[in-house]
Structures are given as C-alpha cells and as structure tokens.
Chains A and B, each alone.
Chain A
C-alpha cells in the first residue's frame, strides 16, 4: 500500500474498473474507521452489490430520477457566455471555446445532491432500515436527504455545525418543514467536518435501524463508489446529449470539487474516453496560505480523514487544518479518494479558483445566461471562462452547473455590495 512513485501507472491506464472489491482507488480510499462501524459498512457493501445487480432496483431508481427529480437535466448551449468570452480583450482571434452547461441546477431541490440522496434512501428501504442520517454544510445535501425521507416515509436526522446553522437559515427551515430534525453540532470548528464526525458517531450506535447517507464521494469504502455510481447519471446523460446535440464527444469537462461528487458523477462515464480532458476546480479561498482555502488536491498531501486515505489539508501533526471558502459546499479539508487517484495518474487536472473569481463568475453567468449559479458551481464557471480563452472556437467545453444559487443570494449580495 505504500505509494511507490516508480510504479505510478500512466494516464491511459485510468479505467472505470476501480475500485476493486476491497475499496482502494490505486493507493487511495480504503477503510479507516473504528471497529464499531465495520459491521454496518460490510452490511452496506453487501446490500449495494445486491441492489446493483438487481434490474428492479435500477428500474425503480431510473424511474424516480425521471418522474420525481425531473431528469434528464438539459445540456444547454451557453451562447451569450461564449460570445462574451470571444469578445473579451484578452481573448485572441480564433480562440474562445463553445461553452455548454449541464443543468443540474434544474434537478428537484436545486442541485445534483438529490441523485445520491434518493439512491441511498432507496437502498435504506431495501436494507429494511427506517431512519436516515446525514451531515450537511451548506444544507443542500441535508435538504436533499430530508426530501428523500419525506418522499419515502423515512425518519431523518441531519447533523449540522452551529456555525453553518447560523449562516444557512433558509435551508434549516426547509429541512424542518420537510419533517427532518436538524441536530446542532457544537464540537470542533462547528462546520461540515464536525457534522460528519457527529453523523459517524450517531451511526456507530444506531446502524441496526439507521443508514448514514454520506453526501459526497468521501468516507470509507464503499461510500465513495456508491455516491459516484448514483451521481454518474450526470455523466451518462451528458455523454449521450453531447453525441446527440453536438455530434461528438466534448473536448473539455469542468466541474467544481469540494468532496467531489458532482465532478465524479460527470467525469466517471468519460474516464475511458481518452480525447476528453477534464478539470476539477477546488476552492482557492482568500489566498494559497494554509487555512485560507479548501483545496487539498492543489495544496495538500495524502492523509487519512473521515475513513479513507486521500489528499487532505493537515498540519505536520496530522491535525485537520482550518479551511475557508466563499462557498459552504466546498468548505471541506478533504476530497474523494477517486479524485486523488485521478490526480496522481494524471487523468484529471485539478486547479483552484479564488473567492473573488468565483464571485465574478457568479455575476457573469447571471447576466449573460440568466442563470444564478450556486457559488460552488461558480468556481467551475470561473475556471472555464479562463480556459476557453486559450482554446480554439471549434472546441467544446461542458461546465457542470451543479446547483442553483438561491441559497447564496444573501451572501453574494453582501459581498457584491449591492
């Protein structure tokens, strides 16, 4: 398991075949959790294997994604944004890639999160469990779980740091309205990572009747694989839509990466398409100083957090670093292990985008396309705009517009000084 730089496989070895049954993505992933959780994790792995090979489960999930979530979400040509880029002073003649948007903001509850929450809630019912728990930062995953719980008649408790409860009141109210109990987490930094700790602790004592719906492609195996699989509907739709609407595969995919579920969902079905280049955009925050950002793949190094080995932001003693991002959904010190794998084998490029640039892109997309994006998704927009200026006009670039920005209005308006 010790990483050996001399044996790192070349990029073309990247394959959709990972993880193997024991869970590692190359050197990353695995299971680093207390023994108390092993039984629940084993049970989940078995239940998921059975569900995955059961056509009835797939049929039920697919049908609900269509009828309840509103899928397929559209792939939209962003004509005015593309023209804006091409008209910019710093865009050379003949440059300015054609931008397309994968409209996950149009999914029920306003973000891609519902794909995973609904999938895992169905799995909960299948396992005969009656209660779900979840962690949430910005509240989007919490709302998606509360929604799935209401829809399927499950009991739902969502753990949320008191700092986030203060910052995200509308989502707290939405969850409560949906019948979910929002459990305030006072420990540690009182944000997403502490909410995750609290959810794991609850699960240790309650796994008999409770399933923990983790909100991103993080945590111990099999969670990163399960979340990726449920989110992969984004990439599968997008691939088919590109072939249908553009007549070819896209040249570039761009998605924001916190834990990395929307990016994993978009990228995964394209991993074996060598011609498709992919970029994951992390939260660059205020600066590249430790504590000022939330970009583990850009500035961190391998470490163990929340049950798996991946890139993390830690100090030299292995203590989790404080993180910052304008976007609560990206404000997390770790990242999914499959992203760490794609990073190390060179299949996906990872970069970061500052709070400032994300906020500018937020406004730009709002004014050119009439779409108010989530601040998370605005990170992907910002980097895509930068990239497009160096790409020929006949190239296509798809941005995963992972969520809508209604939840961010107060924060954005305050920061824009409007």
Chain B
C-alpha cells in the first residue's frame, strides 16, 4: 500500500489521538539550502505533520504567489537542481515516516522525461506527485506512470471548476483530492471562503479519497476551520514567509522556525483547543 494511503487510513482509524486529521506543510526544496530542507522534514514530522508537499523549484511557477515564487527563485539562484533534491530525499527518507509528495511543474517533468522522473522520484523515496500545471485532459500518461510506480497523483480542484468536472478530477486523483480554497494564486489570506464546506460536502458524495485544502491557510485557526470539514490542511506561503525571514539570520534559525510554526498549526488539528469547529 502506498504510504499516503496508509497515513490517511491510519488517521481515519477510530480513536486516533490526532483527531483523525492531517497537517501537510509545504516546503520549497533548497530554501535556504537542500541540506536545511532535509532537516526541516524531520522538524515538521516531530511537530505533528503527516505529509510534506515538497516543492521542486521552478523558474516560472505560474500558480504560485509571490512568497513561494521568491522562495523558488532563491533556491534556483543558489543552483539547486532536481538531482540534488532527489539525492537529499533518498538520504533522509529512511529516518522519516511522513508522506512526501513532490509538487513539481510539468515543464520539469516533461524535460526530464515522464518515466525517468517518476522512477527517479520513486527511488528517492517520494510517495506521489502534484503537477499543478497539468490539467485533467493532459494527465493520462502521468496518471498511468504514477500508478505503475505505485505512487499517488493528486489533482487540483479550483473554486471555478464546475461540479461535473470536479467529480471527474476527484475520480482521476489518487491518494487525496486537493481542493484549492480560493481563486487565484497561493498566498496567505485573512479569511477562508464561506462556501468551502459546501464544496467539500459535494465532493464527499463522489469520492472516498481524503480531501485536502490548500491556498490561503496560514494559522492554527484556519487549520481548525479547514479540518472541521476536510481531512487535511496544506500550509505553504505562511511557512515559506517565515523561512525567508529566518534565513537572513541563519539556516538553523530557519529550520527551527519551520518546526515551531508547524507545531503551532498542528494545534489546530485538535477540535478541543478553543474556538468552535464550525466552518
């Protein structure tokens, strides 16, 4: 069984101490260094994360907001390569139990070659993929290659995605369904959209896969709101903004802040801590 599937299965088991919900921090591989990213993976695991969405830096990340783009630019300016990221993952994988999902532009996958990319990612220890710029219509070969390798491929559903298309995407996804909370790009937002619970409920009708929500989540309270209706919360820009601030001091500081922020966000996984769980 794929590790992502197992993680969510375990979480859903009755009487799970974490409340059955998952936190999925996003990290840009190579910001501030590939080595530091390796240590951050351990830090987020220790702080209560279940899965890491590990972004492979890309020169033209159209779906990402200014924080993640700047983070990727920083990594690329420091000559981070896909090979280095794979090498780091294979080094730290044996000491990790969290799921690792590569968030990577299809531009990179196409250049390296789909089969080679999937095989190399699998050997390194990745459990699956998010290709943010590969729409349903073009996803056939990537879904096939991922399935063949035993890896999951989660596809995004946007607020503007019509219902019937959302159903098709949910059916075509494996591992989990990725629901984009708001229109536009990744980034922190003060409030989550009020129609989110309804969208998730609708999807529950067509898929048994865990439903994760990303874009705009940046506090324990957001996490609490999201997991009251969904299975997992993805936090990216809030994380990388802290990394950018901390790395000016030192890499150690950046690793530390990632652990601390993850712990803070993870407090939102428990429905008991304070505010009502209502969406």
B135 contacts which of A31, A187, A194, A205 (Cβ < 8 Å)?
Answer: A31
A187 contacts which of B70, B82, B141, B156 (Cβ < 8 Å)?
Answer: B70
Given contacts A207-B160, A318-B112, contact A188 B73 (CB under 8 A): yes
- Complex Cα gap A302–B112 (Å): 11
B138:A32 contact, CB within 8 angstroms: yes
Is residue B206 contacting chain A, with contact meaning CB distance below 8 A? no
A200:B62 contact, CB within 8 angstroms: yes
A201:B185 contact, CB within 8 angstroms: yes
Given contacts A201-B184, A205-B185, A317-B81, contact A34 B132 (CB under 8 A): yes
- Complex Cα gap A48–B107 (Å): 28
A36:B108 contact, CB within 8 angstroms: no
Is residue B260 contacting chain A, with contact meaning CB distance below 8 A? no
**Residues of B41-87 whose CB lies within 8 A of A:** 58-63, 65-66, 69-70, 73, 76, 81-83
Name the residue among A194, A305, A317 with the largest chain B CB count within 10 angstroms: A317
- Complex Cα gap A157–B66 (Å): 18
A201:B110 contact, CB within 8 angstroms: no
A34:B158 contact, CB within 8 angstroms: yes
B60 contacts which of A35, A205, A309, A320 (Cβ < 8 Å)?
Answer: A320
Given contacts A38-B160, A39-B160, A318-B110, contact A32 B141 (CB under 8 A): no
Given contacts A187-B73, A197-B60, contact A318 B105 (CB under 8 A): yes
A39:B108 contact, CB within 8 angstroms: no
Is residue A193 contacting chain B, with contact meaning CB distance below 8 A? yes
Beta-carbon nearest neighbor of A302 in chain B: B110
B106:A32 contact, CB within 8 angstroms: yes
Given contacts A31-B137, A33-B133, A319-B59, contact A39 B157 (CB under 8 A): no
Is residue A306 contacting chain B, with contact meaning CB distance below 8 A? yes
Is residue B180 contacting chain A, with contact meaning CB distance below 8 A? yes
A204 contacts which of B83, B135, B185 (Cβ < 8 Å)?
Answer: B185
Interface string of B77-113 (1 = CB under 8 A from A): 0000111000000000000000000000111111110
Interface string of A192-224 (1 = CB under 8 A from B): 011001001100111100000000000000000
A303 contacts which of B73, B111, B135 (Cβ < 8 Å)?
Answer: B111
Is residue B123 contacting chain A, with contact meaning CB distance below 8 A? no
- Complex Cα gap A241–B73 (Å): 50
User: B147 CB to closest chain A CB, in angstroms?
Assistant: 18
A22:B137 contact, CB within 8 angstroms: yes
Is residue A172 contacting chain B, with contact meaning CB distance below 8 A? no
A1 contacts which of B58, B141, B185 (Cβ < 8 Å)?
Answer: B141
B60:A306 contact, CB within 8 angstroms: yes
Beta-carbon nearest neighbor of A41 in chain B: B135
Given contacts A204-B183, A303-B107, A319-B59, contact A40 B69 (CB under 8 A): no
Given contacts A22-B137, A187-B73, A317-B82, contact A33 B62 (CB under 8 A): yes
B161 contacts which of A1, A38, A314 (Cβ < 8 Å)?
Answer: A38
- Complex Cα gap A207–B156 (Å): 18
Is residue A142 contacting chain B, with contact meaning CB distance below 8 A? no
- Complex Cα gap A38–B158 (Å): 9
Question: For the side of the interface on A, what is the size category?
Answer: 35 or more
Is residue B34 contacting chain A, with contact meaning CB distance below 8 A? no
- Complex Cα gap A413–B110 (Å): 42
Is residue A30 contacting chain B, with contact meaning CB distance below 8 A? yes
- Complex Cα gap A307–B110 (Å): 13
A33:B135 contact, CB within 8 angstroms: yes
**Residues of A296-314 whose CB lies within 8 A of B:** 302-307, 309, 314
Is residue A53 contacting chain B, with contact meaning CB distance below 8 A? no
Given contacts A187-B66, A303-B111, contact A36 B160 (CB under 8 A): yes
Is residue B194 contacting chain A, with contact meaning CB distance below 8 A? no
User: A337 CB to closest chain B CB, in angstroms?
Assistant: 13
A204:B105 contact, CB within 8 angstroms: no
**Residues of A160-201 whose CB lies within 8 A of B:** 187-188, 193-194, 197, 200-201
Name the residue among B105, B106, B183 with the largest chain A CB count within 10 angstroms: B183
Given contacts A36-B160, A319-B76, contact A204 B63 (CB under 8 A): yes
User: A346 CB to closest chain B CB, in angstroms?
Assistant: 24
- Complex Cα gap A2–B138 (Å): 12
B160:A303 contact, CB within 8 angstroms: no
User: B62 CB to closest chain A CB, in angstroms?
Assistant: 5
Q: Which residues of B contact A205 (CB under 8 A)?
A: 183-185
Beta-carbon nearest neighbor of B111 in chain A: A318
Beta-carbon nearest neighbor of B112 in chain A: A318
Given contacts A303-B110, A318-B108, contact A188 B185 (CB under 8 A): no
Given contacts A187-B66, A187-B69, A318-B112, contact A36 B107 (CB under 8 A): no
B110:A304 contact, CB within 8 angstroms: yes
- Complex Cα gap A40–B58 (Å): 24
- Complex Cα gap A43–B73 (Å): 33
Beta-carbon nearest neighbor of B165 in chain A: A38
- Complex Cα gap A200–B136 (Å): 19
Is residue A7 contacting chain B, with contact meaning CB distance below 8 A? no
Beta-carbon nearest neighbor of A309 in chain B: B110
B132:A317 contact, CB within 8 angstroms: no
**Residues of A50-76 whose CB lies within 8 A of B:** none
A35:B155 contact, CB within 8 angstroms: yes
Is residue B134 contacting chain A, with contact meaning CB distance below 8 A? yes
Given contacts A187-B70, A187-B73, A197-B60, contact A35 B141 (CB under 8 A): no
Beta-carbon nearest neighbor of B159 in chain A: A36
What 16 new A-B contacts, CB under 8 Å, besides A33-B62, A188-B69, A318-B105?
A: A22-B137, A31-B135, A33-B135, A34-B158, A35-B155, A35-B157, A35-B161, A35-B169, A39-B162, A201-B65, A207-B160, A314-B107, A314-B111, A317-B83, A319-B58, A320-B60
Q: List 24 A-B contacts (CB under 8 A).
A: A34-B62, A34-B63, A35-B156, A35-B157, A35-B161, A36-B63, A38-B161, A38-B165, A39-B162, A187-B66, A188-B60, A204-B183, A204-B185, A205-B183, A206-B184, A207-B160, A207-B183, A304-B105, A305-B107, A306-B60, A314-B111, A317-B82, A319-B58, A319-B108
Interface set of B (CB-CB < 8 Å, partner A):
58-63, 65-66, 69-70, 73, 76, 81-83, 105-112, 132-138, 141, 155-162, 165, 169, 180, 183-185
Closest 9 CB pairs of A and B: A205-B184, A318-B111, A318-B108, A39-B160, A34-B63, A36-B158, A304-B107, A319-B59, A320-B59
